[in-house]
Amino acid sequence: MKAPTTIFDVFTSCVCAIRDGKMILRESNNDKEFHFQNWFQKRLAELGCNYEQGGRNSYPDFKIVQVTEGYELKGLAYPGRDANFDSNSQVPTGLHNGRTIYYVFGRYPKIPDGNQYPVIDFVLCHGDFLNADHDYCHKNKNIKGFGSYGDLMIRDRKMYVVPTPFHLVEGVAHQRTLILPADVVGEKGYVKVGQLERVEAKELVVAYTFDLKTSELVSTKVPNPDAGRKHLFRAWRRTDDSTDPVSMRAFKS
């Protein structure tokens, strides 16, 4: 018996909205973050999904009530920075606090000719495709006693820079693609368009130090006990959409 999930209904709702020309609505020129979230929120409302929406620094952006799933939104201006994104509140993962996490990427025009504009392309992926580690716990720490009078505090506020599927994968630009672990079976109305593989690194960063005099940042690495382990994923599309193939992008080592 398959575990209940919202992923296929949510993806279908987003694809249909893009096809039907349902635009992103920007409240004003100062709305640089939430316009794509608002567009996605309307898709959840159309499905009748009950959800909880977090604040600015909560994770994920939308927590589904019916099942233990969550959606984290990343809107990307195009052309522009779409090879990676900044994550301030949480290192990406496919499982957080017992909840399966999916990442929603949508590209939209960088310089629109108004406050309504389309979703150019769309990728919805399981968080494990970005990072398969479920054990790391994000915490912001601080140290006191800095400065000539010893009464300043330094905050260690981490930012993670994460590659997007548009950088990792060939064939997702100007398409609508769903990326899931290989053991998830596609539902009726879906066709597999790619087999994707991510391989764990030889080493893991377990610590870092920052020299306040030289401004040098140095990492400490240890051998990864799971080095070479393969994590398999499949790329899916709707059967009434493009079946152009999807594959991992080749990078020079």
Rounded mean pLDDT of 199-217?
A: 95
How far apart, in Å, are the Cα atoms of 9 and each of 4, 16, 48, 190, 205?
Answer: 11, 11, 11, 11, 37
Per-residue CA distances from 127 to 24, 122, 140, 201, 239 (Å): 24, 15, 22, 17, 24
User: Average pLDDT, whole number, for the chain?
Assistant: 93
- Give the mean model confidence (pLDDT) for residues 74-88: 94
What mean pLDDT is predicted for residues 128-136? 96
Q: Is 90 exceeded by the pLDDT of residue 113?
A: no
Domain extent listing, the chain: 7-199+229-248
pLDDT at 31 over 60: no
Single pTM value for the model: 0.94
- Res. 90: pLDDT tops 90: no
pLDDT, tens digit (0-9, with 9 covering 90-100), for 149-170 = 899 999 988 899 999 999 999 9
pLDDT exceeds 70 at position 33 = no
| DSSP 8-state code for residue 27 | S
CB atoms within 10 A of CB 220: 11
CA distance 5 to 196: 21
Task: Supply the pLDDT for residue 112.
Answer: 86
Give 195 or 112, the one with higher predicted confidence.
195
* Least trusted range by pLDDT, from 20-34, 73-87, 235-249: 20-34
- Dist CA 240 CA 114 (whole Å): 30
Q: In the structure, what pLDDT confidence band is assigned to residue 29 with cuts at 50, 70 and 90?
A: low
